[in-house]
Amino acid sequence: MIDYRSDNTGRAAPEILEALVTANTGTALGYGADEWTARLQDRFSELFETKVRVFPVATGTAANALSLAAIGPSWGLVYCSEAAHINTAEANAAGFFGGGLKLVPVAGPYGRIDPDAFATALAAVLPGQLHRGVPAAVNITQASDLGTVYRLDEIRALSETAKSRGLKVHMDGARFANALARLGCSPAEMSWRSGVDILSFGATKNGGALCDAIVVFNPDLVDGLAVQLRRAGQVWSKMRFASAQLMAYVEEGLWLHLAQTSNAAAARIAAAIADVPGLRLVAPVEANEIFLEIPSGVMDGLEHDGFQFYRRSATLARFVCRFDVTEAETDALVTSLRRLCAAPARAAE
């Protein structure tokens, strides 16, 4: 079986687990008052070229929902892409942790928010129209849930519109490293220098094991977030084992190396099937995901060939390249797709 189901079906990078094991020495204060977590603050501040506060959390859902709850208020409106993970795949955690906050889906290309559509949506709620709620934040999924990546000027356009009305900017960086690898810019440029106040910093999908993080650029959000994390059961008493993972994740560029690997695999597949008749890329492949319009008979054939992937609909399949995908595996997928699309199975469609 060759697994293209999701980033999270994969292994963890061995370096990360080694760091966790290495942290198992001596005693340390609980709930983040340990030295590993202190060093994590310094390391990430260096990485982001500004003083940040980093809070390890168990999952991306927690990172997103608690970031938005920290922005508040509970009657806030949070603008996001229609395809955004917070809108489609987190059981409305944002609405729950936010105490009733409401997501406002905005249209746009390939899982991204169109800046003009955002401006229009925002303009539709005049200040003082209490019955509509109060615009509070915009959520930017980077990379998007359709595997595309916002350019810096797109992020800045959204941020500027947001800030002009007093909204905060949250970036859902479940695939932050993949987007960063794609853009080739600095973490600072893709976050606070482009107006991001608070970041869900994903690690799990890119070789992590049991933790992601929230990185806070806007210091006004820190205190409220800290107590909400505690109340959310997201503050490990033995925090060192989480902080050590995150340290290893960014050490010597590991995170970028892993993301480059998975991005490259996806790009390789996309390029190799570009001319295959009967297939159509639903979105540009800019990170590690491939969304492919594909005859259902071909999907059957792929499964028969031993490939695992998600059927999003009768004719839409998603393939995710993990950091540990091999060249043999990508070659195999390309070969199967080419064969199946040419075969009688296809004619039967």
Residues 2-41 that bind its own copies (CB under 8 A): 3, 5-6, 8-12, 14, 17, 20-21, 24-31
- What stretch of H or E contains 250? helix 240-250
Q: How far is the CB of 338 from its own copies (least distance, A)?
A: 24
Pick the piece of the chain touching its own copies (CB under 8 A) from 38-46, 93-101, 145-153, 257-265: 93-101
Q: Report the Cα 106 to chain-centroid distance in Å.
A: 18
Pick the piece of the chain touching its own copies (CB under 8 A) from 111-119, 138-146, 226-234, 288-296: 226-234
Segments of the chain assigned E as strands? 2-3, 53-57, 76-81, 102-106, 134-141, 168-173, 198-201, 212-216, 280-281, 289-293, 307-308, 310-313, 316-320
Closer residue to its own copies in complex, CB, 188/232: 232
Q: Which residues 306-345 are close enough to bind its own copies by CB under 8 A?
A: 308, 322
Options 205, 259, 299, 317; binder of its own copies; rule CB under 8 A:
205
Pick the piece of the chain touching its own copies (CB under 8 A) from 56-64, 142-150, 161-169, 185-193: 56-64
Closer residue to its own copies in complex, CB, 211/340: 211
Options 54, 81, 90, 255; binder of its own copies; rule CB under 8 A:
90
| Closest CA relative to residue 259, chosen from 212, 323, 201 | 323
> Which neighbouring-strand residues pair with 76?
134
- Residue 177, number of CB atoms within 10 A of its CB: 32
Q: How far is the CB of 62 from its own copies (least distance, A)?
A: 3
Q: How far is the CB of 218 from its own copies (least distance, A)?
A: 17
For the record, the structure tokens of 193 come out as 């220098």
For the record, the structure tokens of 187 come out as 């973490």
Decide: 248 and 18 in contact? Cβ < 8 Å.
yes
Options 55, 150, 176, 236; binder of its own copies; rule CB under 8 A:
236
Q: How far is the CB of 29 from its own copies (least distance, A)?
A: 6
Number of residues that bind its own copies (CB under 8 A): 74
Q: How far apart are the first and last CA of the chain?
A: 25
Q: How far is the CB of 101 from its own copies (least distance, A)?
A: 7
| Closest CA relative to residue 136, chosen from 224, 47, 197 | 197
x/- map, 120-139, its own copies, by CB under 8 A? ----------xxxxx-----
